[in-house]
Structure 1
Amino acid sequence: MKNYLNSTMIKITLMIVLCMSAFAFNDSKVSAKDEAIDLRAKAAILIDADSGKILYEKNANKAYGIASMSKMMTEYILLDKIKAGEISWDDQYNVSKYAYKISHDTELSNVALREDGVYSVKELYEAMAIYSANAATIALTEVMAGSEKNFLPLMNKKAEELGLKNYTFYNATGLNNKQLKGMQPKGTPEDGENEMPAKYVAKLAYQLVKEHPDMLETASINKKAFAKGTDDEIMMTNWNYMVKGGIYEYKGVDGLKTGSTDFAGQCVTITAKQGDLRVIAVVMDAKEENGDSTYKARFDAAKTLLDYGFNNFKMQEVMPAGYTFKNNKTIAVKDGQKKEVAIEASKAISFIANKNTTYKPKLVLDKKEITAPVKKGTVVGHVEIQGDGYGYIMPVKDQATVVTTDDVQSKGWFVKALGGIGDFFANVGHSIF
């Protein structure tokens, strides 16, 4: 009998374990937030470039050095001014002593500028966007604001307009001020270096691509000659080795900006489009497995993010139009000929969603009861989607309004009056007894 009981207990235990395993298996789907990515970088973020939806992030809210990714801000302001007609691509620039001296520092990314040279805004822009040329960037700040010092307030103003946070701009290039040979913008520290969280680098890139999509035509150029046909001609090779023709070419990559300093490490902001999906990835201070800081490390990390985005996300309808809620199919109606009216979602909700995540619509009512008369289509609340990961780079939500599906007429005045009398005597009765 004892052996029989032991055998029975063992079988019951095994059944419990198997049941628990089955439940664990059925609940194996994970959200983007829990997805494990082997990413050797201090900070990173991946977003959908259309909606700004965050698909993955790591230490994305902490400020780190951004190096030459700073040039995206310089580029943004320039393109704004071009669009507004304040500056023309054909405008000419006479080289300042500052720009000339920096341009001949061979330890920095540069195109050499002649001391008596004259260059078009277009030439300088291409040198900055393709070759990350530091002196060309300084030259553009002088075109736009008279000096790099005067340009800093424009950077800060634009950052404020875009809603960027926790950033510091000490110069327009992203270099450490020590590299500017004592000519850094007056009032900034001798060793100051630009910082920003990955989240806001992505937000800057997101807005830049949204407002000035044509800039990708330049950002995607792999090779182009500067000062072509002159004794100073130099072939510029895009530092973004993931563009078409680059040594780490990745399908669909057409921008955006690399950066590296001792302080910032190896950084890159990449954008790529495959099919209908465009994503933006930001990598900060990437390392090799052995801890080395290399160009390859930043592109390996960027590839990991891009692969994750394109392999795991697609546009999905997570809630159809006309969706009704199991436990809230109606809302109460006060003073109506009907005591309640049916409600439903006004439209479908679709967004770039993780294929491995289950999304649940949540009803949020403005109030528990509405007063007649009620017209069909009256908004009574909205839908929020649960399980959608990190949220958005911009303050937007995937939501649809919840509306009534029928009209409800008011009770007539006589019926209301009778109801009021009935309530009165009912209350009196309670008082007496």
Structure 2
Amino acid sequence: MAMIMFFSLFAGVNQAKAEAALNVNADGAILVDAETGKVLYEQNADSVLGVASMTKMMTEYLLLEAVKKGKVKWDQEYSVSDLVYKNSHDRSLSNVPLRADGKYTIRELYEAMAIYSANSATIAIAETIGGSEANFVKMMNDKAKQLGLKDYKFVNSTGLNNRDYHGQHPEGTGPEDENVMSPRAVAKLAFHLINDFPEVLKTASTPTKMFREGTDDQIKMDNWNWMLPKLVYGYQGMDGLKTGTTDFAGYCFTGTASRDGKRFITVVQNAKDASGKGGYKARFDETRKMMDYAFSNYTKEQIVPKHYQVKGHKTLPITKGKEDQVKIYTKSAINMVVLNGEKKSYKPVLVLDKKKVNKDGEITAPVKKGETVGYLTIEPKNGEKVSFLTEEGHKKIKVDVIAAKDVEKANWFVLMMRGIGNFFGDVWHGISSTVKGWF
């Protein structure tokens, strides 16, 4: 347990100001800082909604994790299953056609999935990792739980309605089942994806690529993220992440863009235009609205510098030491994205380690330079809440407080003499009090 010196950190952020500035036309939306996961705006962020092909971000996560662990190799070849063959020739769906007797590398399938949202390629990846799509769906739900997602359900690897599998949907799921997630869960998945595997952005930002270039099977794959800088709704700094569209989910998009050392993540689900009609343009217009707001109104600031000392708590008293106190300060700085002009709207929160500091607020010698004696975090002075997608986000605004120098333990003779001095001091104090009581 830790000894709280001030109020504890709240959870959530400047919601009123963001809501006043934004009115996103979507069933659900969220805007977050991609570095810390700090929530800057939310609208029905915990509503469980359709996600369509944004589902594929989980398939991407599990693939990149499997590659990192050496369980799957990029040049590994996949032999086409009956389900994947049939699905790949359904031109009503986003697909690259695959041959029944063909062999395709995992990298080819991954690029088709990430750039062109190819559903057959996605199922092929699911079969490669899980052995079957049904097993892979279990892995998806398990990984979602492990990542701390809430309000989600995965029934397939693609985001299609299960009816699009024509009776071959994953075992254990229903013929009309759909993948669902809340905007907060989608943002959290995207946050983990780009922070755990930043290489995903290299593929996600590819505007167009030829599948099987130079063969009879070549097909041009145009990225469905039309906000990439070279495409029709190009946005400066946009380099990901995943679109999704079905009748059930509507027009959805998880976007991420980086400028001037700042990166943001946005999610819109069932986006609509001003007349209430859904469309490709609507999801990008609503994303642009949030991105413009974020880049114009938020700045990354150093809220607490390295070696910061809290007023009134610049030192700790020491017991049994050669010195009677030691200077303490923060080991590193605290940086956070805040609204323009609000850098000074936060106050420090010092928490001392109760295992290191006794009930009288003293630390026992010896003390080593750099020894952690607690931590420091920040909170808004006005009591507003600060919300993060993850507990790790909270930790990014928490830094160790350390001792600035060594303090050796006093030798036995000094400690004995102090004890004697304290004894006679107590006796004299008692006598003085008694004498004063006579008069």
State the TM-score, normalizing by the size of structure 2: 0.82
CA displacement 1:215-273 (0-9 Å, x = unmatched): 22221121222233344432221111011321111111111110122222211111212
**Which of the residues 209, 217, 234 maps onto 2:194?**
209
Aligned pairs for 1:189-338 within 5 A: 189-334=174-319
C-alpha distance in 1 between matches for 2:210 and 2:55: 24
Relative to structure 1, is the Cα distance of residues 229 and 322 closer, same or farther in structure 2, using a 3 angstrom cutoff? closer
CA displacement 1:330-369 (0-9 Å, x = unmatched): 4445566876655443432223333232222222334551
Relative to structure 1, is the Cα distance of residues 409 and 185 closer, same or farther in structure 2, using a 3 angstrom cutoff? closer
**Which of the residues 362, 366, 369 maps onto 1:370?**
362
**Conserved 8 A contact 1:56-1:390:** no
**Is it true that 1:383 corresponds to 2:383 in the alignment?**
no
**Conserved 8 A contact 2:205-2:239:** yes
**Conserved 8 A contact 2:31-2:265:** yes
CA displacement 1:270-328 (0-9 Å, x = unmatched): 12121322222222221211111111111112112221222222321111233333344
CA displacement 1:131-164 (0-9 Å, x = unmatched): 1111221122222233211221222232233232
Instruction: Give the fraction of aligned pairs with identical amino acids, expressed as a percent.
Output: 44
Aligned pairs for 1:143-222 within 5 A: 143-222=128-207
Q: Match of 1:348?
A: 333
**Conserved 8 A contact 2:330-2:402:** yes
Q: Which amino acid aligns with 1:381?
A: G
Q: How far apart are residue 70 of structure 1 and its match?
A: 0.8
Q: Which amino acid aligns with 1:393?
A: T
**Conserved 8 A contact 1:335-1:416:** no
Q: How far apart are residue 188 of structure 1 and its match?
A: 0.5
Aligned pairs for 1:392-403 within 5 A: 392-395=389-392, 396-403=395-402
Q: Match of 1:15?
A: none
C-alpha distance in 1 between matches for 2:240 and 2:62: 18
Larger Cα-atom Rg: 1
C-alpha distance in 1 between matches for 2:377 and 2:284: 36
**Conserved 8 A contact 2:34-2:191:** yes
Equivalent pairs, count: 404
Taking only aligned residues, the RMSD between alpha carbons, in angstroms, comes to 2.9
**Which of the residues 423, 426, 439 maps onto 1:423?**
426
Relative to structure 1, is the Cα distance of residues 402 and 77 closer, same or farther in structure 2, using a 3 angstrom cutoff? closer
**Is it true that 1:92 corresponds to 2:68 in the alignment?**
no
Relative to structure 1, is the Cα distance of residues 356 and 264 closer, same or farther in structure 2, using a 3 angstrom cutoff? farther
Q: How far apart are residue 421 of structure 1 and its match?
A: 4.8
**Is it true that 1:31 corresponds to 2:23 in the alignment?**
no
In structure 2, the gaps of 5 or more residues are 1-12
Relative to structure 1, is the Cα distance of residues 222 and 343 closer, same or farther in structure 2, using a 3 angstrom cutoff? closer
Relative to structure 1, is the Cα distance of residues 100 and 361 closer, same or farther in structure 2, using a 3 angstrom cutoff? same
**Which of the residues 406, 413, 417 maps onto 1:414?**
417
Q: How far apart are residue 427 of structure 1 and its match?
A: 6.4
In structure 1, the gaps of 5 or more residues are 1-29
C-alpha distance in 2 between matches for 1:240 and 1:280: 14
Q: Match of 1:24?
A: none
C-alpha distance in 2 between matches for 1:325 and 1:94: 63
Relative to structure 1, is the Cα distance of residues 425 and 268 closer, same or farther in structure 2, using a 3 angstrom cutoff? same
Farther off after superposition, 368-377 or 288-297: 368-377
C-alpha distance in 1 between matches for 2:191 and 2:364: 46
C-alpha distance in 2 between matches for 1:148 and 1:75: 14
Q: Which amino acid aligns with 1:400?
A: V
Q: Which amino acid aligns with 1:35?
A: A
Relative to structure 1, is the Cα distance of residues 140 and 344 closer, same or farther in structure 2, using a 3 angstrom cutoff? closer
Q: How far apart are residue 386 of structure 1 and its match?
A: 0.9
Q: How far apart are residue 193 of structure 1 and its match?
A: 0.9
Matched residue SS, 1:292: coil
C-alpha distance in 1 between matches for 2:125 and 2:321: 68
**Conserved 8 A contact 1:33-1:390:** no
